[in-house]
Amino acid sequence: MPKATVVQLKDMVDAETIAKSGLRLSLDKIRDFQVRGDDVFLITYPKSGTTWMKEIVPFILNGGNIDEIKDTPADVRVPYLEFALSSDDDERVKQIQSNFNVPKGFSLDDLKPPRTICTHLRREFLPRGIEEKRAKVIYVARNPKDIAVSTYYFSKMLMEKGLGCRSSEPYGDFNDLLHDFLEAEYRTQTVVYDGSKWHEHVLEWWNRRHEGNVLFLKYEDMLQDIKASLRQISEFLSAELSTSAVEKISNHCSFKTMKKNRVALKGDYCEKILGGKSEETSPFVRKGGAGGWKNYFTVAQNEMFDRHYREWMKDSDLEMTFEL
């Protein structure tokens, strides 16, 4: 096993600590980013279905014309805000961008309007212009138990390769990750860079779901009825979709099809960085579904998680779906 490269980090709870993190995200640049009124921001807590939405939204915006953009790297079609604006300042971010097939010198200004930009950052670190210009925000929330399992796989895999480690102690069993998930203090810096706990991230947008520029979606609702979700998204984006386009996109974005799609799997990244065949190693299209957590949580872990969950959600009417 390669030796882990340890990056010294403190708890990441505010802008200053993000700035001190291994990824030197350019927070001022991000806050000051010139948002356009027709920009679309795709916001998620990591492992909530970002890759899925990165595949869906561009095809909705181009009317289901799959061939036109199917080979464009996912991170060029829908770039990460925090990486696109920080890559000149940080060698590690530059490396991540290059692994995701983002060309050198790529700029968000290179995108054709409407630009679709994704991010895991929590609201307070986002461009001021989103609020000022009322740019569209699509937020996807997934139940936190499945997120914890998904994060476990991703983090463990990265640590085994010595990537993005904040600690020299690799993740052992699921319990290690579960604890870190509840505290949002991960051993890998790639998971979430701003110290947000799941509920802090999700509730910020749940509480704004009635604002005209916000569409709040649940991953599990998409699993249940993808065609209804595609129509909901296209209506929100004022992008007309024919019945045949809905059909085409739902096929193209199905788990089964995405599992064979090198662009969605980020095949080059997987083979270069994680090793193995991308359909087996890709953490971006891994197992999917709702309720897989039941194979990982013990009864005691589940009870402990539920206690945290009840406390997190005690003032909220958001109800998540934990199994289908």
Q: Tell me which residues touch ligand A3P (CB under 6 A).
A: 44, 46-52, 146, 150, 153, 253-255, 258, 284-288
Phi and psi angles of residue 118, each rounded to the nearest 5 degrees, phi first? -110, 160
Name the residue nearer to ligand A3P (CB basis): 50 or 234.
50
CB of 245 to ligand A3P, least distance (A): 17
Minimum distance from CB of 134 to ligand A3P (Å)?
A: 25
Rounded to whole angstroms, the Cα distance separating 210 from 212 reads: 6
CA distances from 70 to 82, 107, 226, 323 (A): 24, 20, 19, 31
- Strands of the 136-141 sheet, one edge to the other: 116-119, 40-44, 136-141, 214-218
Which 8-state DSSP code applies to residue 44?
E
> In angstroms, what is the minimal distance from the CB of 219 to ligand A3P?
7
- Measure the CA–CA gap between 75 and 69, rounded to whole angstroms: 12
Residues 278, 265 contacting (CB under 8 angstroms): yes
**Nearer CB in complex with ligand A3P: 55/90:** 55
* Candidate list 120, 179, 201, 308, residue with the active-site label: 120
Cβ atoms of residues 116 and 58 within 8 Å: yes
3-state class (DSSP) for residue 88? coil
Q: Which is nearer to ligand A3P, 4 or 253 (CB)?
A: 253
CB closer to ligand A3P out of 146 and 194 = 146
Minimal distance in Å, beta carbon 144 to ligand A3P?
12
Give catalytic status of residue 120 as yes or no: yes
Q: What is the DSSP letter of 115?
A: P
Strand partners, 218: 141
Q: Which residues are catalytic?
A: 120
